[in-house]
Structure 1
Amino acid sequence: MFKGLGGLGDMAGMMKKAQEMQTKMAELQESLETMTVVGESGAGLVKATATAKGVLTGLDIDPTIFNPDEKEVAEDLILAAIKDAQAKAAQRSESEMSRLTEELGLPKDMNLPF
């Protein structure tokens, strides 16, 4: 039936696959907003919680780090926890994207979204 259409039969399949990929990408982007990661520093004295998109959502600080003579130490610990959370968020996002591309049969090293 599609014999005379040449590659158009394949084109319909490609369009369907592209729509499927677009839907899955939208679902993944939405789920990344609710996935959380926790970064920490100072052996857990400071914990930063972020979404897998890297948005900081919480900060838990053990009160023992608040020594007025060591203000810089407290600041460094807070920054380190936030950076750790952001790095974990980026890693989680990359991992989820990689999983999606693999499910769609695309090359593992393909960077989505384009």
Structure 2
Amino acid sequence: MKDLGGLMKQAQAMQQKLAEAQERLAQLVIEGTSGGGMVKITLKGTGELASVELDESLLAPGEGEVISDLIVAAHADAKRKLDEQQGQLMREAAGPLAGMGLPGMPKF
């Protein structure tokens, strides 16, 4: 039964680390860009869109489709960066159990 007690302590410690990692994730702010910086998208750690910045040169008539494409590309860039940060924080929190495919553990 000693092993069970030790496992419970490890599980509680990991649960605390995961909660702390989720708090850090919520505070993240990630920027994605496209068009050589002509479009900038800011995402919060929760995935919520915080801001969109457009270079004024894009605001010319007939640029609507270009703007749409650049916004989508900037969002994809920000989302990729956010996913990387989330995975890294969760792997750090899970420690040696990361990637073991244990039931109830997030996959990252």
Structure-1-length-normalised TM-score: 0.82
How many residues align? The count is 104
1:98 maps onto 2:91 in alignment: yes
Unmatched segments (≥5 aa) in structure 2: none
1:109 maps onto 2:99 in alignment: yes
| Match of residue 41, structure 2, among 39, 48, 56 | 48
Unmatched segments (≥5 aa) in structure 1: 1-7
2:41–2:75 contact (8 Å) kept in structure 1: yes
Structure-2-length-normalised TM-score: 0.86
Q: Which has the higher contact order (CA 8 A, sep 6+)?
A: 2
> What percentage of residue pairs aligned between the two structures are identical?
38
- Classify the secondary structure of the residue corresponding to 2:92: helix
Matches within 5 A, 1:1-80: 8-80=1-73
Separation in 1, partners of 2:55, 2:6: 56
1:85 maps onto 2:75 in alignment: no
Question: After the TM superposition, which segments of 4 or more aligned residues of structure 1 sit over 4 Å from their partners?
Answer: none
C-alpha RMSD over aligned residues? 1.6
